A and B are shown apart, each in its own frame.
Chain A
C-alpha cells in the first residue's frame, strides 16, 4: 500500500481544485450567456416567449441540481449518446446557472424606477434608446453584487459533479479518503479549499454592494 503524507494529500487536492475552478468558469460563462438570452426573451412582448422562459426558470429552480445532472448524464446515455461526465456537468451547471441569473437580472431591470421610463418617453426616446442609455446602465450596476454573490453558489454546485464520476475537488477528496482512511483531515481540507475560493467572492460582493449604496443608486 502506498503511504500518503499530509503534503501528498494537499497536493492532490490542490490539483483537483483546478478542475473545480475550470468547471465553475464554464458554468458561469455558459450560464451568463444563456441567462442573458433568456432575460431578453422574458422581456419581449411575445407572450409565448415569456411563458416559455418562466417555465424554464421555474423548472430549473424547482428541481435539485443533482437530478438535473442525473437526467442529462443518464438521459443522454439512454438515448444512445454516451457523454462524458465533463460534458454532462458543464451542460447541467450551465442550464442551472442560466435559470438563476435570468431571474436575478430580470429583477434588476424591473428594479429601475418606473419614472425613468416615463422621463425617457417624454423626451422622445424609443424602447431601444431608453434601454440602452437609461435602463441597462442602471440595471447593470444593480446586478453586479447579486451576480457575484450567486457565483459562490455555482462553485459549491460543482461538488455535485463528483457523483457522476467527475474528478474535481470533492471527488478527489473521496478517492483520497478511500486510500488513506483519514476522513476528518481530508474533508476539512476540502472544505477549506472551497472556503478559500468562495470567501473572497462573498467579500467582493459585499464590497460592491456597499459601493453601490454609497453611490446613492439604491
Chain B
C-alpha cells in the first residue's frame, strides 16, 4: 500500500530551482534512504513532506490525503508525519518527559495520565526511561537525539522523516541513534531518511534514492545501487563517500 506519494513536485527559492520535478512513492513500512551531495535538494524534499517548506507545484499525498493547508490541518499533518532534525531541537526549558508530552496534550488534547503512560513507553523504546525528569542540557547528543525520536513517536505518526539525524553527533554516539532507527524499521515504521551514513543506508534501507541537482537521478535496492551504479554521477558520489 502506498503511504506517501510525491507527484511532479517543484520548489524554487527565488531564482534557484531546488526541486525540478520529483516523483517518489513510498509504501507502508518501507525504509527509504535519500542520499546525494549537499545542495542536491534532499533536505528540501524532506521539508516539503511536512510542509516546513511549501512546494510550488505538483502534489504530495499522505495516506491518500492531499498535503496542503486546504485539505490537511497542521494537527492532522502532525499525526501523519513526524520529523527528527539534525540539531535535535528539544525544548531546553522542559524536562525529557515534558518534551515528549507537550504536543499530545496541547495539540491532540489527550489526558495527562494517558500521555504520560505513552511517554514512558516511547522513552523505554529509545532506551531512556530513566531520564524522564532530566533536562536536555544534562544529556549527551546521542541521548538528546533519542529523546527527539521519542517525542516524534508520541504523536504516533504514520511516517517518520529523519533529516541527517546523526550529522551533529560525535562518532561514538552515532551507533546508539542508528540502532533506535533500526528497531523502528524492524517494527514496521515507515521511514524516510536523508543520510550520510552509507553503511546504514545499505544495511537498513529497503530502497536508496540518489538525488542530483534537484532530481531523482537513480534509485533502487541498496545492494544493486551501491554495487552497480548506473550513472556517472552516482559512481562519482559513491567513490567520494565510501
What residues of chain A have their CB less than 8 Å away from a CB belonging to chain B?
113, 115-116, 118-119, 121-126, 129, 133-134, 137-138, 141, 215-217
Q: Are A123 and B155 in contact (CB under 8 A)?
A: yes
Known: A121-B52, A123-B155. A116 touches B79 (CB 8 A): no
15 contacts between A and B (CB under 8 A): A116-B89, A116-B91, A122-B50, A122-B83, A123-B102, A123-B151, A124-B75, A124-B77, A124-B107, A124-B108, A125-B106, A138-B91, A216-B137, A217-B92, A217-B137
CA distance A88 to B133 in the complex (A): 52
The interface size of chain B toward A, counting residues with CB under 8 Å, comes to 27
* Besides A123-B103, A217-B93, 11 new A-B residue pairs in contact (Cβ under 8 A), listed by A number: A115-B85, A116-B89, A119-B85, A119-B89, A121-B74, A122-B52, A122-B78, A123-B78, A123-B151, A123-B155, A133-B106
CA distance A126 to B91 in the complex (A): 16
CA distance A207 to B74 in the complex (A): 41
Known: A122-B83, A124-B75, A215-B137. A113 touches B89 (CB 8 A): yes
Q: Say what secondary structure dominates the interface of chain A.
A: helix
CA distance A216 to B79 in the complex (A): 31
Known: A122-B83, A123-B151. A141 touches B93 (CB 8 A): yes
Q: Which residues does chain B contribute within 8 Å of A126, judged by CB atoms?
A: 74
What residues of chain B have their CB less than 8 Å away from a CB belonging to chain A?
50, 52, 74-75, 77-79, 81-83, 85, 87, 89-93, 102-103, 106-108, 135, 137, 151-152, 155
Q: Are A124 and B85 in contact (CB under 8 A)?
A: no
Closest to A214 in B: B137
Q: Are A124 and B92 in contact (CB under 8 A)?
A: no
Closest to A138 in B: B93
Q: Are B79 and A124 in contact (CB under 8 A)?
A: yes
Closest to B75 in A: A124
CA distance A187 to B50 in the complex (A): 65
- Out of B82, B90, B137, which one reaches A122, CB within 8 Å? B82
Q: Which residues does chain B contribute within 8 Å of A121, judged by CB atoms?
A: 52, 74
